[in-house]
């Protein structure tokens, strides 16, 4: 399974964009990049996923480099409620969801 | 639309007892997954069902853990006998089939073995 590397923590001012980086240099051609977050001890919450192209939904944008070795999750206008641990995950190819959760990035949004 | 539901939300049992956790996936989701997070550690995959069949159970820690999904609907995870190191939060997730589908997680069951 492809391994991901994320910074352990980041700060962001409320109302500003939060840019969370992720390295996945061993990703295979058909593996998707998924982002989840966990607020306190709640269940992980799906944010966004992509394969090659940049993606945007109502929660965030996902920017994937052309070589697919890294990606950035962008929360365009962070709020205090976005304070959470964010996980970048590479999904294995077989069609299941045997995700490998790393330590993630703990994002602190400050007023 | 109902999400993934897990019962109970909390369970406190004594070492050596048996506990059964239940997960009700989103209707229509053939894939069902179990994960666990022990204190201070990362979330770890336990196993994956496709309908009623175990697709991958490589993450199950030992034979004290038994997961079932009779009829391909809800799933149970039984721990017998429970040990202190089994304490943690157990998450269930479900998804449609396909490589381009997200998994939705339940709120978890917090298990404490004393």
**pLDDT tens digit string along B35-94?**
999 988 889 999 999 999 999 999 999 999 999 998 889 999 999 999 999 999 999 999
CA R_g for chain B: 13
Q: Does B34 touch chain A (CB under 8 A)?
A: no
Residues of A in CB contact (< 8 Å) with B are 30, 32, 34, 36, 41-46, 49, 51, 87, 91, 93, 95-103
Min Cα distance A27 → chain B (Å) is 15
d(CA B11, CA B30): 27
Mutate to test the interface with A, among B25, B39, B58, B99 (most CBs of A within 10 A): B99
Min Cα distance A69 → chain B (Å) is 19
pLDDT tens by residue, chain A, 111 residues: 568 999 999 999 999 999 999 999 988 888 889 999 999 888 999 999 999 989 999 999 999 999 999 999 999 999 999 999 999 998 865 556 677 788 899 999 999
- Taking Cα atoms as reference points, which of A105, A96, A103 lies closest to residue A31? A96
- Put simply, the answer to whether A43 touches B43 (Cβ < 8 Å) is no
Percent of chain B at pLDDT > 90 equals 82
d(CA A104, CA A87): 5
- Taking Cα atoms as reference points, which of A59, A61, A55, A49 lies closest to residue A24? A49
């Amino acid at each position: 399974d492809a391994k991901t590397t994320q910074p352990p923590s980041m700060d962001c001012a409320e109302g500003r964009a939060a840019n969370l980086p992720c390295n996945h240099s061993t990703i295979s051609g058909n593996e998707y990049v998924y982002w989840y977050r966990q607020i306190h001890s709640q269940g992980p919450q799906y944010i966004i996923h992509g394969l090659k192209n940049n993606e945007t939904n109502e929660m965030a944008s996902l920017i994937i480099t052309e070589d697919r070795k890294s990606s950035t999750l962008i929360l365009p206008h962070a709020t205090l409620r976005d304070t959470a641990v964010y996980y970048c995950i590479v999904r294995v190819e077989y069609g299941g969801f045997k995700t490998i959760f790393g330590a993630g990035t703990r994002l602190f949004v400050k007023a | 639309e109902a999400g993934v539901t897990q019962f109970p939300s909390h369970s406190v049992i004594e070492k050596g007892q048996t506990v059964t956790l239940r997960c009700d996936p989103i209707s229509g989701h053939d894939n069902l997954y179990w994960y666990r997070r022990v204190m201070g550690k990362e979330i770890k995959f336990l196993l994956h069902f496709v309908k009623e069949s175990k697709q991958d159970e490589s993450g199950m820690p030992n034979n004290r853990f038994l997961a079932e999904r009779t009829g391909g609907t809800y799933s149970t995870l039984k721990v017998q006998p429970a040990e202190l190191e089994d304490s943690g939060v157990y998450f269930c997730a479900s998804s449609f089939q396909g490589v381009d589908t997200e998994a939705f997680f339940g709120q978890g069951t917090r298990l404490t073995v004393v």
